[in-house]
């Protein structure tokens, strides 16, 4: 590998250019890594057609494996346990483990001989991102003498105190016994035999046993593709009213109700308007909340906006209000900052690591009432002196362009490959990253 592009077998079971969330992350990192390494992507067959549309050549650039025979029966079980779409993510993750074991078994049947023949310098499992999903491949790769790396992994953020009602409404039954995943087959084997464990957040890194910490490298989970988002600076309107946007699924932990309560007095005074972009189970409750407060003239519901159109929608705002209390990554925060919006987020989980003191506001965790008062205080400060918004937004955009692009992440992952291949010492990119 020395002096040349590493040959990488990249595992991204979730990898789709036309989807959002983790599948889009899988695709984005795969393409960014292809610019710095010789990558062969292994993914699930459901992604095949959309990947072919992007010009990749099957067998040469990627391989699609069909794990649906095991996956489909468990999906039906999940539908029953979760009750409705968009909730019960801990349950969904738990039920995905058995199909993923099967996916890796198919992968080893296809690539095991090539791994043993050292046709690849590194085997890298990127998705699933969850640290609760073990791998059967770590020990096999170690035996073959090929470094196996995982990540950036992210997840496992505990529910904060004071949000028991939201936890129940989210149907997060398994979150009460979440640590049981450490008893799963291959959990210890994965960590013992992996050459490197890339961690996407402070919370995830802190949950790893001390004996494995020396294998960890912090690399933020989320990033933006400047070709898709933030290629040019948004030109938000100047002056009052202060325009605040929220983007996300309308589920309890995302904090939309707290954002509305925080802004309510300023909305009534005509100093703030709020646009909620998204949809979900909480829509009816949120509309009722707005009606009770007499806020219809200052709080609007945009519904779902296509990802390709989101940039133009967000560009009409000054502030990104996102008081989600259990956010692992927070890609939408990075996207808003890339446009120059000033974020207001919770200092808990991924968003609190994306936002720095000079680029936005990371609110300390508290009870729902405390969060409402803290967010309102920030809005009042910005209404009183909106001149700080422009410079802070410029710094937010610069921070994303420096640290949170897929190209930047690919370069960091490349240094991890060099480390496990013996070409350099263990990298340390800082945690959290400096401005």
Task: Judge if 26 and 122 occupy the same domain.
Answer: yes
**How many domains does the chain fold into?**
2
- Residue 292 in any domain: the answer is yes
- Structure token digits, residue 200: 């996407």
246 and 356 in a single domain? The answer is: yes
Judge if 175 and 64 occupy the same domain: yes
Each residue of 265-285: b (16+ CB within 10 Å) or e? ebbeeebbbbbbbbbbbbeee
382 token code pair:
């910005």
Say how many C-beta atoms besides its own lie within 10 A of residue 160's C-beta.
Answer: 20
Both 158 and 265 in a single domain? no
pTM: 0.88
Distance CA 9, CA 39 (A): 6
Cα–Cα separations (whole angstroms), residue 261 to 91, 228, 372: 31, 33, 6
Q: What is the CATH number of the domain that holds 13?
A: 3.40.50.2000
Nearest-CA neighbor of 393 among 263, 225, 235, 221?
A: 235
Each of the 435 residues of the chain gets a pLDDT tens digit; together they read: 656 899 999 999 999 999 988 999 999 999 999 999 999 999 999 999 999 999 999 999 999 999 998 876 656 544 544 444 544 445 455 566 888 999 999 999 999 999 999 999 999 999 999 898 999 999 999 999 999 999 999 987 777 777 666 655 655 544 444 565 566 788 899 999 999 999 999 889 998 999 999 999 999 998 998 877 765 555 655 679 999 999 999 999 999 999 999 999 999 999 999 999 999 999 999 999 999 999 999 999 999 998 878 998 999 999 999 999 989 889 999 999 999 999 999 999 899 999 999 999 999 999 999 999 999 999 999 999 999 999 999 999 999 999 999 999 999 999 999 999 999 999 999 867 777
The verdict on 377 and 409 lying in the same domain is no
* Residue at 229 is within a domain: no
Rounded-to-integer distance, Cα 434 and Cα 218, Å: 13
Does residue 143 lie in a domain region?
Answer: yes
Give a yes or no: residue 434 inside a domain: no
Residues 413 and 371 in one domain: no
Instruction: Report if residue 340 sits inside a domain.
Output: yes
380 part of a folded domain: yes
Beta bridge partners of 242: 272
Say whether both 398 and 409 belong to one domain. Answer: no
In a domain, 395, yes or no: yes
Same domain, 348 and 254: yes
Pairwise CA distance, residues 54 & 10, whole Å: 17
Pair 395, 409 in one domain? no
CA distances from 52 to 58, 88, 138, 152 (A): 7, 32, 29, 26
Same domain, 320 and 187: no
User: What is the C-alpha to C-alpha distance for residues 188 and 182, in angstroms, rounded to an integer?
Assistant: 8
Sheet with 319-322, strands from edge to edge, namely 299-303, 272-277, 242-247, 319-322, 342-346, 361-363
Q: Are 410 and 398 within one domain?
A: no
List all residues 6 or more positions away from 355 whose beta carbon is below 8 Å from its beta carbon.
333, 337, 343, 345, 361, 362, 396
Dump the DSSP string for 170-219: TT-GGGGGGGGGGGSTTHHHHHHH-SEEEESSHHHHHTS-GGGGGGEEE-
Residue 81 lies in a domain: yes
Q: Which domain holds residue 56?
A: 7-223+405-421
**CA distance linking residue 129 with residue 11, whole number of Å:** 11
> Cβ distance 362 to 351 under 8 Å?
yes
Helix 256-268 crosses helix 368-384 at what angle (to 10 degrees)?
40
CA–CA distance, 148 with 9 (Å, rounded to integer): 10
Cα torsion 137, 139, 143, 149: sign? positive
Both 143 and 255 in one domain: the answer is: no
- pLDDT given at position 81: 45
């Amino acid at each position: 590998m020395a002096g040349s592009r590493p040959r990488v077998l990249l595992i991204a079971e979730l990898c789709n250019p036309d989807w959002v969330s983790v599948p889009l992350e899988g695709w984005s990192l795969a393409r960014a890594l292809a610019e710095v390494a010789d990558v062969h992507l292994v993914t699930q067959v459901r992604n095949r057609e959309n990947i072919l549309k992007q010009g990749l050549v099957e067998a040469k650039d990627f391989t699609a494996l069909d794990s649906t025979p095991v996956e489909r029966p468990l999906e039906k079980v999940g539908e029953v346990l979760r009750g409705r779409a968009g909730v019960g993510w801990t349950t969904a993750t738990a039920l995905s483990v058995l199909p993923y074991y099967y996916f890796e078994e198919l992968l080893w049947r296809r690539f095991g001989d090539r791994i043993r023949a050292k046709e690849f310098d590194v085997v890298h499992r990127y998705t699933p991102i969850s640290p609760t999903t073990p791998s059967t491949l770590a020990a096999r790769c170690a035996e073959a003498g090929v470094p196996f790396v995982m990540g950036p992994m992210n997840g496992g953020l505990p529910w904060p105190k004071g949000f028991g009602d939201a936890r129940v409404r989210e149907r997060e039954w398994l979150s009460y016994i979440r640590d049981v995943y450490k008893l799963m087959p291959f959990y210890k084997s994965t960590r013992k035999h992996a050459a490197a464990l890339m961690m996407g957040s402070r919370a995830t890194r802190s949950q790893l046993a001390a004996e494995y910490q020396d294998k960890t490298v912090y690399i933020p989970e989320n990033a933006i593709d400047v070709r898709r988002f933030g290629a040019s600076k948004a030109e938000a309107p100047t002056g009052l009213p202060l325009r605040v946007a929220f983007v996300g699924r309308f589920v309890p932990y995302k904090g939309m109700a707290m954002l509305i309560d925080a802004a309510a007095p300023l909305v009534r005074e005509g100093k703030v308007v709020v646009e909620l972009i998204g949809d979900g189970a909480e829509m009816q409750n949120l509309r009722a909340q707005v009606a009770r407060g007499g806020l219809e003239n200052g709080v609007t519901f945009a519904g779902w906006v296509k990802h390709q159109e989101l940039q133009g929608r967000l560009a009409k705002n000054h502030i990104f209000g996102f008081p989600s209390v259990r956010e692992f990554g927070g890609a939408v925060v990075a996207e808003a900052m890339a446009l120059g919006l000033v974020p207001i987020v919770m200092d808990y989980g991924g968003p609190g690591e994306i936002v720095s003191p000079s680029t936005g506001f990371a609110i300390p965790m508290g009870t729902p009432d405390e969060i409402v008062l803290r967010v309102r205080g920030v809005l009042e400060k910005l209404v009183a002196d909106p001149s700080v918004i422009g410079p802070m937004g410029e710094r937010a955009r610069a921070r994303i362009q420096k640290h949170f692009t897929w190209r930047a992440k690919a370069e960091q992952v490349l240094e991890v490959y060099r480390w496990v291949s013996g070409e350099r010492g263990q990298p340390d990119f800082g945690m959290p990253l400096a401005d």
